[in-house]
Amino acid sequence: MRILKWVGLGLLVVLLLLAGGIYFLVTSPFIKNQIVERSSAAAGREVAIDGDVEIDWSLTPRIRINKLRVANTEWGRRPDMVSIDRAEVSIKLLDLLRGRVTLPEVRLIRPKVLLEKNADGTANWTFGENPAAATAVEATAPDERQEFPVIGKLVIDDGTLDYHDPTQEIEISSKVNTAVGTAGGAEQTTLRGNGRFAGEPFTLEVTAGALLALRETDKPYPVSVNAAVGQTKLTVDGTLQDPLKMSGPNLEMDLRGQDLADLFPLFGIPIPPTPVYALSGKLTHEGDVWAFKGFSGTVGDSDLSGDFSLDVGGERPVARATLVSQKLDFDDLAGFIGAPPDDKAEEEDDGRVLPDQPVNLERLRAMDMEVSFSGEEVLAPGLPLDDLQTKLNLEDGRLVLDPLSFGIASGTVDGRLILNGRQAVSSVRADLRISQLNLQEFFKESEFANDMGGTFGGHIDLTGEGNSFAEILGSSDGSLAIVMGGGKFSNLLLEVAGIDVAEALGFVLTEDQPVAARCVVADFHVRDGLMRTKTAVIDTTDTNITVEGAIDLGTEAMELGMEAHPKDPSLLSARSPVNITGTFASPEFGVDPGPLVARGAAAAALGVLLTPLAALLPMVELGLGEDSPCYQLIHQAQESKG
Q: Cα–Cα distance between 428 and 477 in angstroms, integer?
A: 11
pLDDT of residue 606: 46
Instruction: Using the predicted structure, report yes or no on whether residue 597 has a pLDDT greater than 50.
Output: no
pLDDT in the model for residue 510:
53
Q: How confident is the model at residue 511 (pLDDT cuts 50, 70, 90)?
A: low
Higher pLDDT, 144 or 305: 305
> How does DSSP classify residue 343?
G
Query: Residues 579, 560: contact at Cβ < 8 Å?
Result: yes
Distance separating alpha carbons of residues 207 and 227, to the nearest angstrom? 12
Per the model's pLDDT, the better-predicted residue between 546 and 622 turns out to be 546
Average pLDDT estimate for 584-610: 58
- Residue 12: pLDDT band with limits 50, 70, 90: very low
450 vs 445: CA distance, rounded Å: 10
Average pLDDT (494-509) is 65
Q: What pLDDT is stored for residue 87 in this prediction? A: 92
**What average pLDDT does the structure give for the chain?**
80
Lowest-confidence range among 23-27, 35-39, 296-300, 401-405?
23-27
Between 219 and 271, the higher pLDDT residue: 271
What residues contact residue 56 under an 8 Å CB cut-off, 6+ apart?
62, 64
Rounded Cα–Cα distance for residues 356 and 528 (Å): 17
Q: What does the alpha-carbon distance between residue 513 and residue 208 come to, in Å, rounded to a whole number? A: 76
With residue 26 as reference, give the H or E element that holds it. Answer: helix 2-27
- Give the H/E segment covering residue 20: helix 2-27
Q: Is the per-residue pLDDT at 497 higher than 70? A: no
For residue 101, what are the CA distances in angstroms to 105, 152, 560? 12, 11, 88
Pick from 29-43, 224-238, 576-590: least confident: 29-43
The mean pLDDT of 176-182, rounded to a whole number, is: 62
* Averaged pLDDT for residues 224-239: 95
Task: Report the alpha-carbon distance of residue 599 to residue 569 in Å, rounded.
Answer: 14
pLDDT class of 136 with cuts at 50, 70, 90: very low
- Helix, strand, coil percentages in the chain from 3-state DSSP, rounded to 5: 25, 45, 30
Comparing 314-328, 346-360, 436-450, the range with the smallest average pLDDT is: 346-360
**Per-residue pLDDT at 404 exceeds 90:** yes
> Which pLDDT score is estimated for 633?
63
What's the CA dihedral at 212, 218, 219, 225 to 10 degrees? 90
pLDDT value of position 106: 87
Alpha helices in 475-610 (DSSP H): 491-497, 499-504, 606-610
For residue 249, cis peptide bond before it (omega within 30 degrees of 0)? no
Q: Is pLDDT of 315 > 90?
A: no
Q: How confident is the model at residue 192, as a pLDDT?
A: 82
- pLDDT tens digits along 236-282: 999 988 777 777 789 999 999 999 999 998 888 999 899 999 999 99
Residue range 141-160, pLDDT digits in tens: 455 545 556 677 778 888 88
- For residue 139, what pLDDT band results from cuts at 50, 70 and 90? very low
Residues of the chain with pLDDT > 70, as a percent, come to: 75
Where helices occur in 478-616 by DSSP H, the ranges are: 491-497, 499-504, 606-610
> For the residues 399-421, what does the mean pLDDT come to?
95
Predicted pLDDT of residue 411: 93
- What's the confidence (pLDDT) of residue 434? 92
pLDDT at 286 over 80: yes
Mean pLDDT calculated for residue range 308-331: 94
How many Å apart are CA 408 and CA 442, to the nearest integer? Answer: 9
Tell me: pLDDT of 360 over 80: yes
Q: How many CB atoms lie within 10 A of CB 204?
A: 20
Highest mean pLDDT (candidates 18-32, 78-92, 481-495, 560-574): 78-92
pLDDT one-digit tens code per residue, 439-490: 989 888 777 778 888 888 889 999 999 988 899 999 999 999 888 887 887 7
Q: 495 and 574 in contact (C-beta within 8 Å)?
A: no
What pLDDT does residue 137 have? 46
Residues 6+ apart with CB under 8 A from 80: 69, 70, 71, 72, 112, 114
In this prediction, what percent of the chain has a pLDDT beyond 90?
35
The packing angle between helices 2-27 and 29-43, to 10°, is 50
Contact yes or no for 615/523 (Cβ under 8 A)? no
Statement: residue 521 has pLDDT above 70:
yes
Q: Which of 271, 260, 193 is nearest to 231 (CA)?
A: 260
Q: According to the model, what pLDDT value does residue 362 have?
A: 87
Please report the pLDDT score of residue 13 as a whole number. 47
Distance, CA of 137 to CA of 127 (rounded, Å) = 9
405 vs 221, more confident: 405
pLDDT at 433: 93
